[in-house]
Amino acid sequence: MSKNLVTLPGNRACALGAVAAGCRFFAGYPITPSSEVAETMARELPRVDGVFVQMEDEIASLAAVVGASLGGAKAMTATSGPGFSLMQENLGYAAITETPCVIINVMRGGPSTGMPTRPSQGDIMQARWGTHGDHPIIVVAPTSVQEIYTETIRAFNLAEEFRTPTIVLYDEVIAHLIESVEIPAAADVVQVDRKWVAGDAAGYIPYAETEDLIPPMSRPGEGHRVHITGLTHTPEGFPTQKPDLATKAVQRLIDKIELHRDRIESFEALQTEDADVLIVAIGIVARAARRAVADLRASGVKAGLLRPITLWPFPERVLRAAAAKAKLIVVPEMNAGQLVLEVERLAGGSAKVKRINRIDGEPIAPAEVVAEVRELL
């Protein structure tokens, strides 16, 4: 496998990863600190016969992405806090219509306009529960520029395989961090394409209950019926309010992710096997936590790091296993307390859970984590 080593900022790595994954349509609206993704896509997509459109706002951006995907293209948008809020209705529409697409959300300080040029991790829960109604979502949370590149590719593959919108969630620091990235040859990049329907058009059921719970899609213009609706629908695609049918429709969306957790979940477990102190973190804070683990180990404290790479669905089994052995769990995050809620739920009281929070637009430093742990021991 041949690779090129290049130096890239995070947002540019995201765009290059998208193109490598087969993305050929981007619709977006410039917003700090994600604008470089759109800027790079505007340059790169025409080189591969792709389409870039600057839309009038973020609502229209995701609507265009959903339409392009339903037409058969791999499609993406990129935004930050306020724009991500505007996308929520269409995000739910993509979920219920089972439309593959990728949404990049580069987190910044908030709420509202907040601090456009400062980092935050305030969208952790919004990424999971931002839209109305019950539906599953896949969210990946890279922590390096290299991982932004690879996780953007994986986000497209997950979206295509499981017919679901997938979010790539990272903070402003990682977005503008410049690091060396290994770029594989195009032939070496694994691309997953959605399952297209084949066979008799007369018997096609748009939302069929297949064994893997992922119905094949119809490609417009090729003879099979195209039936798209945001209403709760039967497998045939027709609206329903019958309780049993509505339950089956929504439950299948949930179950298709749960059934395939082993193919979706990804995480980093650093020295968690014997850890008395378990640190759980994502993004730039996870990098600080990695250094904190090294410093604590050097001073005789058995510390370990659990970093969800797939944030949603959360890697529940590995956290429960690590929490069962730990005496103390520390959750540093750049918000008022969001990731910690999931950790507390899954730890179930097996260990004391301590929060470390910053909401001032400054990253959490390794020394802050070390000092907090030593104070609690």
Domain residue ranges of the chain, discontinuous segments joined by +: 3-188, 268-376
User: Are the beta carbons of 336 and 355 closer than 8 angstroms?
Assistant: no
Q: Kindly report which listed range (7-21, 59-73, 219-233, 277-291) carries the lowest average pLDDT score.
A: 219-233
Q: What is the mean pLDDT of residues 339-366?
A: 96
Task: Please determine, for residue 2, whether its predicted confidence score (pLDDT) is greater than 90.
Answer: no
User: Each residue of 204-214: pLDDT tens digit?
Assistant: 999 999 999 99
Please give the Cα distance from 97 to 165 (Å, whole number). Answer: 10
CA dist list (Å): 154 to 169, 201, 230, 243 = 13, 31, 26, 36
| CATH architecture for segment(s) 3-188 | 3-Layer(aba) Sandwich (3.40)
CATH 3.40.50.920 fits 268-376, yes or no: yes
Choose among 88, 160, 167: nearest CA to 131: 88
Buried b (16+ CB within 10 A) or exposed e, 5-24: eeebbbbbbbbbbbbbbbbb
Domains 3-188 and 268-376 share a fold: yes
Partners of 3 in beta bridges: 184
Give the pLDDT score at 1: 60
Looking at residue 349, what is its pLDDT? 87
Mean pLDDT of 330-344: 98
Tens digits of per-residue pLDDT, 47-72? 999 999 999 999 999 999 999 999 99
| Residue 132 pLDDT grade (very low, low, confident, very high; cuts 50, 70, 90) | very high
pLDDT higher than 80, residue 229: yes
> For residues 289 and 164, what is the distance between their CA atoms, to the nearest angstrom?
31
In the beta sheet, which residues pair with residue 168? Answer: 104, 140
